[in-house]
A and B are shown apart, each in its own frame.
Chain A
Amino acid sequence: MSVLVYIEHAEGKVKKTSLEAVSFANALAAKTGEGDVVALALGAIDQAELAAVGKAGAAKVLQVSDSRLDAGVIQAHATAVAQAFEKAGASTVVLAKSSLGDAVAARLSIKIKAGLVSNVVELPNTDGGYLVKRSIYTGKAFAETSLTTANKILAVKKNAVDLKTDGGDAAVEALEVSIPDSDFASKIVSTERATGEVLLPEADIVVSGGRGMKGPENWGMIEDLAKTLGAATGCSKPVSDMGWRPHHEHVGQTGVKVAPSLYIAIGISGAIQHLAGVNSSKCIVVINKDPEAPFFKAADYGIVGDAFEVVPKLNEALKAEL
């Protein structure tokens, strides 16, 4: 038996969340005695990147070099993972929660008759049963979920385990799969992705601005601060509704859910729907000129003050320190 990990990559680079999924699988296998961790990479991937997959805890990487799989065609990916699952003799699939991962996991669960738990936040409790803790109500609560099928799929939330970096070298093996043409009936005709920036859902530090920033012309100071910190930029919903920032930066109940180590909220009031997207952050810093802003109740550190004054100063202080 083994634990199979579905790896995602963008432009050949393995996503950090996928490496976390490998580390999760490694810890899971150690706990359940399910054998080796086998990572599955679909489409063209940078060979040098595979070393990181080994370090994160995979013993083997199965590589399917079919250029039709370079793009994330949902049905075709699900078919490929199902075949790899059979060939690897796996019992569990672990993957990182993402736009593609979720879509693939759902179809896969029917194909391999596996119970699926999403938003998993820690290793399952296997004393006597198989209880998986997952985040529900958009981070406002947790549920212990009893998984009763022989085959299992766990879609893991960011920061569920620490990233392992001391694993060995993974053996790379080519894998052939046969995917029906019908799985490619839908076509991805174009992709627009911000390049060279830190991606919001995966970022370790996020700097977000709200309506208190007054207008898109003031985003320079948010971007400068993000640059100093190596952070991604986010925003509140009204900010993306008004077109100040692109939709994929909108954080919250109806937007991206982030789970960084550090979330810095600038000129955001802290409405419950915004908090729903950030409540998995390890540490929250709030900068707001209104001492009564509800965000302060959810914050670890706060500065009451005008963003236009505080943010440039903070940027200078960070530059001096980092």
Chain B
Amino acid sequence: MKILVCITHVPDTTSKIQFTADNTKFDTTGVQFIIGPYDDYALARAVELRDQTSGKLTVLNVGESETEPTLRKALAIGADEAIRVNASPKDSFFVAEQIAHYAKEGGYDLILMGRESIDFNGGMVHGMVGEILGMPSFSPVMKLDLDGTSVTMSREIEGGKEVVEASLPLIAGCQEPIAEWKIPNMRGIMSARTKPLNVVEPVSEETQAVAVKYELPPAKGAVKLIDKDNVSELVKLLKNEAKVL
């Protein structure tokens, strides 16, 4: 079976978010980049399914050359080959068009993505790719099991979950607890150096919704502490000052 996992290259979850150039650019100073945490779940499950089916696992990122260490890490975790679409990911539609094109060329049976990217948090790319390719798409998926070409998934809904049955090919946006994150071991890291990482060019340039300016939320004022033996004071403040009761 051929599996494609689409990964993002995003600031570590503890990063301080700042902007430069008159708030038009993300400030990468001191920021460590990682595989998106949801993409990491998708990758972990994909490695298991590749092993289960003796298949082939490809990872893909739409990004410029600085994302290659992140792709190498995915290879170290267990992917067989990597593709980098050489372009800055301008918006979800642009990214979806690139992924759809290379996914079609590759003829994948299963495409796993993260539930959402943790930079722009759209949660949209999987659905867009699904519609472009005429494939069903599901998100957020917490469990995905294969039996031949039948797929059983558990999808999170508000306040619970639903069990969905579908058949390959399909696309899933993954989240925990679909699999445990995998940490690359020494052998993985060594072999990742020689696995193929192919750079391809974007197939279209069209964008629809591009971020033009960034802004940080206003700084929070200092906390008001209330004595633990005077909790009714808190109730009064919530009622009369914050007006949230």
Contact = CB atoms under 8 A, between A and B. Distances in A.
Interface of A: 10, 15, 71-72, 74-75, 78, 98-100, 102-107, 109-111, 114-119, 131-133, 135-149, 185-194, 197, 199-202, 205, 229, 247-248, 253-254, 261-262, 272-273, 276, 279, 282-283, 285-286, 296-306, 309-310, 313-314, 317-318, 320-322
A132 B91 CA distance: 14
Contacts of B163: 188-191
B8 interface: no
A109 B157 CA distance: 21
A262 B244 CA distance: 6
A109 B93 CA distance: 9
B116 to A, nearest CB: 8
A132 B217 CA distance: 16
B119 A137 contact: yes
Given A102-B139, A106-B127, 4 more contacts: A114-B208, A143-B120, A248-B159, A303-B231
Contact of A272 (B13, B122, B131): B13
A302 B224 contact: yes
Contacts of A72: 157, 162
A32 B206 CA distance: 26
B234 interface: yes
B157 A100 contact: yes
B93 A116 contact: yes
A67 B5 CA distance: 35
6 contacts: A102-B124, A116-B122, A136-B119, A148-B209, A262-B242, A305-B228
B209 A117 contact: yes
Contact of B213 (A143, A194, A302): A143
B137 A301 contact: no
Given A272-B13, A283-B244, A199 B164 contact: no
B217 A142 contact: yes
A104 B124 CA distance: 9
Contact of A285 (B38, B215, B234): B234
B212 A137 contact: no
A23 to B, nearest CB: 19
Interface in B199-237: 207-217, 220-221, 223-228, 231-232, 234-237
